[in-house]
Amino acid sequence: MSKLLFNEGFFSRLLKLKEVNGDLKLILLIRPLATDWMLYLNKERNIITNGVKWLNESGFDGLAFPLYIKPSHRDKLADFLCEMKSEFDKYGYMLTSLIIDHSFPEPAPGKESTISKLARKMRDSSLGWTVRRDNATQEPYAFSTTGLWSSYEDTTSMAFKARYVLEKDLHGLDIVVIDVDDDEGVGGEGRFPLTRAVYNTCCDHVSLITEERGRYSETYRLAPLSFIKSNVDWFIERELPAEKITFTVPAFGVYVTLENHNETELGAKYSGPGLEYKEFSGWNTIRYKELLRTLNDSSLGWTFRRDKETKEPYAFSTTGLWTSYEDATSISFKARYVMEKGLHGMDIVAVDVDDDEGVEGEGRFPLTRAIYNTFNRGNQSLDAKP
């Protein structure tokens, strides 16, 4: 799957590519800054209707919405996503969400939520709890040997209700309110288990933004595998299913000028962007195609290094330029991690910044093809097993 930036020529080329590759799915990413106005103006139904209309006309397969919003808007956005997914399912369209930060709020200092209190009480073995569940509705209740009794929601009953919402094409399901969910993970099911039960039901998959911005004025990698793994593990530990998770890998590199030409390792000080750079996603980044042209300039005296464990490259020149980036080797290694971890996939941000001219002489879109080829070989290996 690939996220893309719009320009008219590339849009038509993508549609042509989709015509010859039936497995290609095109997802339009709604930029993060576009969410607040939607929530303030209560235009959810118009957005859903227009979204379906645009997908019908464009040939795209779905939309991706970011979850980079104020905590007070989270419940409203969850309702919106559930309603949109219900409508999209009628047409076979995909709805994905994009997590730019850890989207679950931190517990307020010195405050315990209602569900946390209940979970803590029910984990007290001295009370001798017996738990019962309704076979038809999946709703639980419990009673103790000391005469306590409780009825409540848990992840099983909440997910059952969320499925009913989808089946009945209802507007959504409200949790009243998120800060009384188990914000500490007392029940042993991770933090905010009820909220996640709804969230998992209403999104086809979740894409984690795993671009790590380094310390100011120090060289860094944009999407190091160690950072990707820590983010993926963080959400899996909170019971977001691995098969729903994707993560982003940039098709652009860091490109800077070192303060000291002799200090070339990761974390070295830099004084500014690289010379004659072409900005993509920040003042010190460069598109992959343009980076390749620079790396092929022998007059700059490039030295290349690669991490032995993660296969991630960086390079520095005799003129004081420094860059970290992805290449076919490192991005294939990340694709193998996706298969080993059982994740949904990985996103390239953005496919139109990949090398669409074949600058290296190894064909066009080398990063995109490296991912595809790795996944394809992995699937063939699985098919070959008895």
pLDDT the model gives residue 211 = 65
Cis peptide leading into 350, omega within 30 of 0? Answer: yes
Three-state DSSP at 214 gives coil
Whether 71 shows a pLDDT value over 90: the answer reads: no
Q: Is 266 helix (H, G, I), strand (E, B) or coil?
A: coil
For residue 245, with 0-12 CB atoms within 10 Å meaning exposed, 13-18 middle and 19 or more buried, which class applies? buried
Which range among 40-44, 103-107, 204-208, 375-379 shows the weakest confidence by mean pLDDT?
Answer: 103-107
List Cα–Cα distances, 254 to 212, 228, 243, 292, 348, in angstroms: 11, 17, 30, 12, 16
Asked whether 104 and 238 are in contact (CB, 8 A), the reply is: yes
Confidence of residue 73 (pLDDT cuts 50, 70, 90): low
Query: Which helix or strand (DSSP H or E) is residue 205 part of?
Result: strand 205-208
Closest CA to 13 of 24, 23, 68, 161: 24
pLDDT average, residue stretch 322-329: 95
pLDDT at 42 over 90: no
Give pLDDT, residue 177: 37
Query: Model's pTM, two decimal places?
Result: 0.63
96 confidence band (pLDDT: 50, 70, 90): confident
CA–chain centroid gap for 12, Å, is 26
296-308 average pLDDT score? 95
Average pLDDT of span 363-369: 90
The whole-number average pLDDT for the span 32-49 is 62
Cα–Cα distance measured from residue 241 to residue 245, given in angstroms and rounded to the nearest whole number: 7
